[in-house]
Amino acid sequence: LHPQMDATGYSEVVIEGARHNGLLGIVDARQVADSLRLLKARGCELAQDPSTKLLLYFKQYGPFSGGSLVHPHMQIMALPVLSPEMQLQVDRACVHQTQFQ
């Protein structure tokens, strides 16, 4: 039913700061901006790999999020596949862009 492949791609963690309790809502805005700029720069770099089809950015927080790191962190994953649902969203975005340029 579903094609299978070896695990490929990238998964990177961006530690947001040295404080273990540095929630986005209470840390300095500059620190948040720096973290987001770093995620963007890493995404641009990972996108240069021809096998990268999808970049996922996410943040986990708290014991119920499934995260295993204590420090506040964000993650980026570069994957070599698009799900059919994501491909549909990309197709719709492209149609929208060409209609409203």
Residue from 31, 39, 33 nearest 14 by CA? 39
Known catalytic residue: 2? no
Given 2, 20, 71, 73, the catalytic residue = 73
- Both tokens of 87, joined, read 């491909």
Distances (CA, A) of 55 to 7, 19, 80, 82, 98: 15, 27, 9, 10, 23
* DSSP letter assigned to residue 39: H
Q: Rounded CA gap, 50 and 30, in Å?
A: 33
- The residues annotated as belonging to the active site are 73
